[in-house]
Amino acid sequence: MATTTLEPRAGTYRRSWVIEWLTTVDHKKIGILYIVNSFLFFFAAGILALVIRTELAVPGLQIVDQATYNQAFTMHGTIMLFLFIIPALSGFGNYIVPLMLGAPDMAFPRINALSFWLLPLGGLLIFSGYLFGGAAAEGWTGYAPLTGQEYGTTPGTDLWIIGLTLVGTASILGAVNFIATIFKMRAPGMTLFRMPIFVWTVLVTAVLILLATPVLAAGLIALFIDRNYGGSFFDPTVGGNPILWQHIFWFFGHPEVYIVILPAMGVVSEILPVFSRKPLFGYKAFVFATIAIGLLSFSVWAHHMFTTGEVFLPFFAFMTALIAVPTGVKMFNWLATLWRGKLMLATPMLFALGFVSMFLIGGLSGVMLSSPPIDFHVQDTYFVVAHLHYVFFGGSVFGVFAATYYWFPKMTGRKLNEPLGKVHFWIHFIGFNLAFFPMHQLGLDGMPRRISDYSPDAGWTLLNFVSTIGAFMVAVSIIPFLINVIATFINGEPAGDDPWEGNTLEWATTSPPPPYNFDRLPPIHSERPLFFLTHGHGHAAERPADLEETEEEDVEHRGGLV
Amino acid sequence: MTSRTMQAHPAGEHEAAAVMQHGQSGMPTALVGMLLFIASEVMFFAGLFATYFNARASVGAGQWGPPEGAHELDLPLAAVLTAILVASSFTMQFGVWAIRRGDTGKLKLWTGITLALGALFLAGQLYDYSELGFGISDGVFGTTFYTLTGFHGAHVFGGTVGLTIVLARAMRGQFSARNHVAVEAVSMYWHFVDVVWIGVFSTIYLLR
Amino acid sequence: MLVLALAASGCLLPPDPATEAGQDVFNLYLLVLALAGIVFIGVEGFIIYAMLRYRRQPGDDVLPEQLHGNNTVEIIWTAIPTVIVLILFTFSVITLGEVEARADEPGATIEVEGFQWQWIFRYEEGATVTGAIGDPPTLLVPVGEPVRLVLTSLDVNHAFYVPQFLIKRDLIPVGEHGVPNELEFTVTEEGTYSGQCAEFCGDSHADMTFIVEAMPRAAYDEAIAALAAGEEPPTGDGGECEVNVEIKAENLAFDIDSFEVPADTAFCIAFENLENVPHNVAIYSGGDALFTGDILDTAGSVVYEVPALPAGEYRFICDVHPQDMVGDVTATE
């Protein structure tokens, strides 16, 4: 008697890892692509920063000519903002948000992939200016008529416009994806007010991107028409208005800076509670403060234009000063989270605390800038350069590093080396302050920004030299970071599912997670579903007021926990 | 962690697939996506309108219009184009109602008519351009006129591409009463394009 | 570490203001700085305190009290900053009024034109000064009186910035329908102040410098009159020429009929026109003009900077009277 055994053909579906990574629509892989791509652009823009600082260390043009210098700071700003910080935070959002929501992926995985691949394409286009006679050289703000047909003759500017339009499109598609995911794909039980704070900040950021970036696109297209088709949008000699460019650009440009900072604030708001072993103080207040910042960010744009003489100063000064209030609320809530906590000062926590300290300084200089009379003195000087670096670098970039150290174990299954991380942090922190704090004084003393050289009689030499030393320190601090990342990839300590005793759902699955993310989800009754699971019912004070459980469920809940 | 609590919400691959398709409840995810995309497009046109109004405000009163020697704007033609586009929104909606009833035949009919009207609009627009006598490089009015109407026209074109795809899919029987998200999405986009045209028409031809 | 950086920085203060409104801005800044300092010390102090005081001890597994929030505290720390912000805003508006004040009768109104990459100053009395890269122009102003500047750009955006006045204003190219920006200030102390363009304007933005010189009214009037008459008012540097040739023109004739200069060396001609008849000095080789000096329409003097001449024989003439006013130039090795 013949027996026939039916055996499904056991073959593993395999394809080469190159094809896999090039064609993936998995949010986790796309997230990693975003992050790696961002860091590559970070290094490129960082080298440009070193060129700038080396040139400015002492008076006289030593290493570059004026045109090259102007390209350097233009590209530095453009790359750092559009190709490093926003995509890096977007990458973490891509990886982590679906996990935090208990979802299997983003709402539109293929559009997710498209969004990513537009980035290296756009970035290469922007950089390709160097191959065609000069990259864009009019500042990342590209003011007309300097960028117009008559005065902006470098082809690099056209490539900059096209590249940025692609990058902006990628952003907008990403925003659609995030909002749809957050509204449509939360696990059962996760009401909006039980979402992790990081998800809230990503949500508000996505709304800002959705509404502000298209306005930039309109402006860039208008500029392209002026440059190439004889348009008259911004050219005063044919009836156009240079100030119109500034309005359009900053209507986008100001929400842009909140797009840059809010996700980093979200990261910090995840890390501080975990490493203080307490919940985020004032979760709801934090959510409302984030929404308030998002709304207000559309009403302040002309504070970048106080010195044009064509802006209704009191309104914009008022709204700008007002935005300090919800920002302050966040700051106080972070401090209250630390208060009477039990702080674990691991590297993610150090970067998070660094964020809070440095962003505070940036915020205070921002309040100074919100006052038109003060702004008349320091606008377009190194005071503004100091301010923007304290919020972008001391804020967002510290947030990116915090996120990296925090979520690296989840993404790779290995923990980064702690001592090396601390070395990175301290050199980075000290170098950063050495580089940028003196710039406050340089601006107050009257050193304008975007100058390739300055007079030896100006009295600016010492502070510039100190600043350059700080910049090189920051560059050096990247070395332990890179060593750490590479060594950990090769031979790092396994992390396990939940190395930090986290609160949120990404830690309720393996490190790294399986392709479909979760085998099973824990019940969701608060914004800290994993905390509840780990620490159980504890005492009444731990249960948030909006816990809606019947008594039966409650008993089962208690009974089911070890 | 016992298995009992973890079983509260089984996930795994099967659940994953269901969630991906329909979201947890309410409006289909693809429609949410289209709505959000339309919101971004509204802001894009807002930027273009801003350039139009800014230019108009800075030119002297009574001097806002086509440059010397060019034709005046053809209001009657524009009115006809408006009627065509508004009608096409109605026909598009008839198509949506049809497929919600499961009537694929009527869906194809109304989609075809909408597509034809859209193409007619574009042809009319191009005819208007050829008669005008001024170009995008002829001063601020020329620049803002062509940019605003031109980008609107491009969006109409994008809509006709979407309509063509919907028509082709309908002819292959891919839609049913329960499964026709693409039709709803394209119709939303088409209505948006129509609303923007009403804005463009009112601003350029009526308000002046 | 931060304290060190602060100390090296120099106290975070703007320069001592040299204008009336500048003093108001300085005072406002002091107020804001003080508030910022308090917040800074409070918050950073708390962070450092928390890092030391609340550090988790090794082996301590007990959870701290799980505070979720406190509505009262939220209201307090929303309301107090709002009040502070409103106060700051009020003081800003008041100071803004002082900065933007316009006198009925300014002591001087000067047109400032910016172009890539220098400045033109046009005085009411007709004098005009144009700067060059490396040779910044001086803006002469009377001290103690309101000075109004009308700011126009001839090409792209620029900005007029004098750090010691704690003020800047953009120069926007406005085209036919636009109204140029204005800036008004009253300098309180005689002196020389440096200024620079503060709106990125292209390749040599860094070179777009200028100088402001404030002097008593009498000296100001004299200096402006001299400018208008074509003389150079006394400025800091001059006379960079190693070789100087002096030529005078009177009665339709030069006072010398030849001069000699070293070959391949730039030199200067100190030319003085002693009559109200137009004259200049120009140097020719055959029919080619190698150098053409500005014509002095009336009596006055000017220093011509002549580029280096290769060894050889040339002529110098007056372009207005080329038959009567001629001479020889020899450039020797």
A62: left (phi over 0), alpha (psi -120 to 50) or beta: alpha
- pLDDT value at position A553? 40
DSSP state of C141: E
Both C176 and C201 in one domain: the answer is: yes
B12: left (phi over 0), alpha (psi -120 to 50) or beta: left
In chain A the domains, ranked by start, together with CATH numbers, are 30-521 (1.20.210.10)
pLDDT above 70 coverage of chain C, percent: 93
Determine the distance in angstroms separating the CA of B113 from the nearest CA of chain A, rounded to an integer. Answer: 30
More confident residue, C180 or C133: C180
Distance CA A260, CA A267 (A): 12
Q: Suggest the residue from B22, B27, B36 to mutate for an interface test with chain A (most A CBs closer than 10 A).
A: B36
- pLDDT value at position B199? 96
DSSP state of B204: I
Q: Determine, for residues C81 and A328 on separate chains, whether the beta-carbon distance falls below 8 Å.
A: yes
Both C197 and C303 in one domain: the answer is: no
Distance CA B103, CA C321 (A): 99
Contacting C residues, span 158-177, partner chain B, CB-CB under 8 Å: 177
- pLDDT value at position C132? 86
Which residue from B minimizes the CA distance to C179? B58
Among B43, B48, B51, beta carbon nearest to A211: B43
Distance CA C5, CA A437 (A): 7
Q: Determine, for residues B40 and A211 on separate chains, whether the beta-carbon distance falls below 8 Å.
A: yes
Contacting B residues, span 37-96, partner chain C, CB-CB under 8 Å: 58-60
- pLDDT value at position A561? 30
Both C114 and C189 in one domain: the answer is: yes
- pLDDT value at position C122? 93
Determine the distance in angstroms separating the CA of A238 from the nearest CA of chain C, rounded to an integer. Answer: 8
Which residue from C minimizes the CA distance to A532? C66
Nearest by Cα to C166 from C17, C9, C299: C17
Which CATH number do you get for residue C250? 2.60.40.420
| CA separation, residue B74 to residues A353, B70, B125, B137 (Å) | 64, 11, 11, 20
Residue at C17 is within a domain: yes
Residue at C308 is within a domain: yes
Domain positions in chain B are 27-207
Determine the distance in angstroms separating the CA of C175 from the nearest CA of chain B, rounded to an integer. Answer: 11
- pLDDT value at position C127? 85
- pLDDT value at position A263? 98
Q: What is the pLDDT of residues C154-168, one digit of tens each?
A: 999 999 999 999 999
- pLDDT value at position C238? 44
Residue at C33 is within a domain: yes
Q: Which chains touch B (3 or more CB pairs under 8 A)?
A: A, C
- Contact status of B93 with chain A (Cβ, < 8 Å): no
Determine the distance in angstroms separating the CA of B59 from the nearest CA of chain C, rounded to an integer. Answer: 7
Q: Are A453 and A52 in contact (CB under 8 A)?
A: no
- Across chain C, what does the average pLDDT equal? 89
Q: Which residues on chain A are in Cβ contact (under 8 Å) with B11? A: 102, 104, 187, 516-521
Strand pairing report for C326-332 and C258-262: parallel
Q: Are A485 and A154 in contact (CB under 8 A)?
A: no
- pLDDT value at position C235? 47
Both C165 and C269 in one domain: the answer is: no
- pLDDT value at position A255? 97
Q: Which chains touch C (3 or more CB pairs under 8 A)?
A: A, B
Q: What number is the average pLDDT over the span B142-165?
A: 96
Q: What is the pLDDT of residues C219-245, one digit of tens each?
A: 999 999 888 876 555 544 445 677 788
| CA separation, residue B81 to residues B132, B198, B208, C126 (Å) | 16, 10, 18, 60
Q: What number is the average pLDDT over the span C238-265?
A: 83
Which residue from A minimizes the CA distance to C81? A325
Tens digit of each residue's pLDDT, chain A (562 residues): 556 666 666 666 777 889 999 999 999 999 999 999 999 999 999 999 999 999 999 998 889 999 999 999 999 999 999 999 999 999 999 999 999 999 999 999 999 999 999 999 999 999 999 999 899 999 999 999 999 988 887 889 999 999 999 999 999 999 999 999 999 999 999 999 999 999 999 999 999 999 999 999 999 999 999 999 999 999 998 889 999 999 999 999 999 999 999 999 999 999 999 999 999 999 999 999 999 999 999 999 999 999 999 899 999 999 999 999 999 999 999 999 999 999 999 999 999 999 999 999 999 999 999 999 999 999 999 999 999 999 999 999 999 999 999 999 999 999 999 999 999 999 999 999 999 999 999 999 999 999 999 999 999 999 999 999 999 999 999 999 999 999 998 888 899 999 999 999 999 999 899 999 998 888 888 888 888 777 765 443 344 444 444 333 433 333 333 2
| CA separation, residue A58 to residues A465, A471, B177 (Å) | 6, 14, 74
Q: Which of C39, C66, C101 is the last residue of a domain?
A: C101
Q: Which residues on chain B are in Cβ contact (under 8 Å) with C178? A: 58
Distance CA B129, CA B160 (A): 20
Maximum separation of any 2 CA atoms in chain C, in Å: 108
> SS3 of A396, please?
helix
Say what the ipTM of the complex is.
0.90
Both C222 and C312 in one domain: the answer is: no
Residue type, A106: M
Both C119 and C192 in one domain: the answer is: yes
Residue at C202 is within a domain: yes
- Contact status of B83 with chain A (Cβ, < 8 Å): no
Which residue from A minimizes the CA distance to B136? A231
Which residue from B minimizes the CA distance to A177? B33
Superfamily of domain B27-207: Cytochrome c oxidase, subunit III, four-helix bundle (1.20.120.80)
Q: Which residues on chain B are in Cβ contact (under 8 Å) with C176? A: none
Among A239, A516, A522, beta carbon nearest to B13: A516
How many residues comprise chain C?
333
Q: Determine, for residues C5 and A145 on separate chains, whether the beta-carbon distance falls below 8 Å.
A: no
Q: Are C230 and C298 in contact (CB under 8 A)?
A: yes
Distance CA C131, CA C197 (A): 13
Q: Where in the sequence is the domain holding C257, given as residue range(s)? A: 244-332
Both C129 and C201 in one domain: the answer is: yes
Contacting B residues, span 95-154, partner chain A, CB-CB under 8 Å: 135-137, 139-140, 142-144, 147, 151
More confident residue, B17 or A423: A423
Determine the distance in angstroms separating the CA of B166 from the nearest CA of chain C, rounded to an integer. Answer: 50
**CB contact burial B187-205 (16+ within 10 A = b; e otherwise):** bbbbbbbbbbbebbbeebb
Q: Determine, for residues B6 and A521 on separate chains, whether the beta-carbon distance falls below 8 Å.
A: yes
- Across chain B, what does the average pLDDT equal? 89
Q: Which residues on chain B are in Cβ contact (under 8 Å) with A311? A: none
- Contact status of C45 with chain A (Cβ, < 8 Å): no
Q: Are A434 and A473 in contact (CB under 8 A)?
A: yes
Burial class (CB in 10 A: 0-12, 13-18, 19+), C333: exposed
Residue at C154 is within a domain: yes
The tally of domains found in chain C comes to 3
Structure tokens at B75: 């209001």
- Contact status of C102 with chain B (Cβ, < 8 Å): no
pLDDT at B9 over 60: no
Can you list the pairs that B34-39 forms with residues at least 24 positions away whose Cβ atoms lie under 8 Å?
B34/B185, B34/B188, B34/B189, B35/B188, B36/A175, B36/A176, B36/A179, B36/A180, B36/A210, B37/A172, B37/A176, B38/B188, B38/B189, B38/B192, B39/A210, B39/A211
Q: What is the pLDDT of residues B104-129, one digit of tens each?
A: 999 999 999 999 999 999 999 999 99
Residue at C65 is within a domain: no
pLDDT level of residue B3 (50, 70, 90 thresholds): very low
Q: Are A28 and A512 in contact (CB under 8 A)?
A: yes
- pLDDT value at position A218? 97
Both C131 and C172 in one domain: the answer is: yes
3-state SS string over A303-371? HHCHHHCCCCHHHHHHHHHHCHHHHHHHHHHHHHHHCCCCECCCHHHHHHHHHHHHHHHHHHHHHHHCC
Residue at C41 is within a domain: yes
Residues 6+ away with beta carbon under 8 Å from A551? none
Q: Which residues on chain C are in Cβ contact (under 8 Å) with A139? A: 200
- pLDDT value at position C289? 84
Residue at C254 is within a domain: yes
- pLDDT value at position A546? 40
Q: Determine, for residues A104 and B2 on separate chains, whether the beta-carbon distance falls below 8 Å.
A: no
Among A210, A251, A557, beta carbon nearest to B39: A210
